[in-house]
Amino acid sequence: MFLDELTPILQEILGQPAAFLGGFASGLLKVNLNDDPVKSWLENQGADVSSQGDDDDSSGKGPQTISID
């Protein structure tokens, strides 16, 4: 049951190990894909690099407060 859900992910990992390891390493090293050396290399490889923000809150806003009535 649980292995059935992991099977497609494992097939992708085993099918393209270099892409998986590259993405995994860039995630661990927190490489910004919008920086010039990485962005130009990705564009040469045919990837579409759009200027999207990171998922984390790097805007410096900090935690927000809410009030519950």
Domain count, the chain: 1
Residue-wise pLDDT tens digits, 5-54: 888 888 888 888 888 888 888 889 887 777 777 777 777 877 776 655 55
- What is the average per-residue pLDDT within 51-63? 60
| Residue 24 domain flag | yes
Q: What is the pLDDT of residue 58?
A: 53
Q: Is residue 32 part of a domain?
A: yes
The predicted structure's pLDDT at residue 63: 85
- DSSP sequence for 12-67: HHHH-HHHHHHHHHHHHTT--TTSHHHHHHHHHTT--------SS--SS-------
Question: At 4, which amino acid appears?
Answer: D
Give the predicted TM-score (pTM) of the model.
Answer: 0.41
Within a domain: 5: no
CA distances from 16 to 1, 21, 22, 60 (A): 24, 9, 10, 36
- The reported pLDDT for the residue numbered 25 is 87
Instruction: Give the domain range for residue 40.
Output: 19-44
